Amino acid sequence: MLNHLSRVSQQVGLCMNMSKTKIMSNTHVPFHTVIVGSSALEIVDEYLGHTVQLGRSNFEKEVNRRIQLGNIETSASDDSRIGNVLAYYESHRIRRLRITQRAMEIAML
């Protein structure tokens, strides 16, 4: 099927990048080498930083990755909350300063 895709792609002027094309499978499909043209495709279990288990029982690596992401998001959301509080405090302080300045100007008239 991949050989057919490669041939048809070449007929319309496209070329598959074999160094970027990877193979993933689940536990129901045995691993075997896939050759397209003259290139053997790499078998992987991670995609864009995500561990893909596809029916395998060992989820420890993916669970740890998600826990770390949760910790990063929590600290980032804490930072954004602190930033929001500081921004509100600063805008409130500037508003109070303007009101005070206006009151002093009126008093001088």
Distances (CA, A) of 17 to 12, 22, 41: 15, 10, 10
Pairwise CA distance, residues 59 & 33, whole Å = 25
Work out the number of other CB atoms within 10 angstroms of the CB of residue 63: 11
- pLDDT of the residue at 98: 81
Q: Report which of residues 40 and 64 the model is more confident about.
A: 40
> Could you tell me which residues come within 8 angstroms of residue 23 by beta carbon, excluding any fewer than 6 positions away?
34, 41, 42, 43, 44
**Domain layout of the chain by residue ranges:** 1-56, 59-109
- pLDDT of the residue at 12: 92
Q: Report which of residues 74 and 84 the model is more confident about.
A: 84
pTM of the model: 0.42
pLDDT band at 25 (very low <50, low <70, confident <90, very high): confident
Pairwise CA distance, residues 84 & 27, whole Å = 48
b/e for 66-105, b at 16 or more Cβ within 10 A? eeeeeeeeeeeeeeeeeeeeeeeeeeeeeeeeeeeeeeee
What percentage of the chain carries pLDDT values higher than 90?
Answer: 3
pLDDT band at 51 (very low <50, low <70, confident <90, very high): low
Please say if the pLDDT value at position 58 is more than 80. Answer: no
- pLDDT of the residue at 53: 62
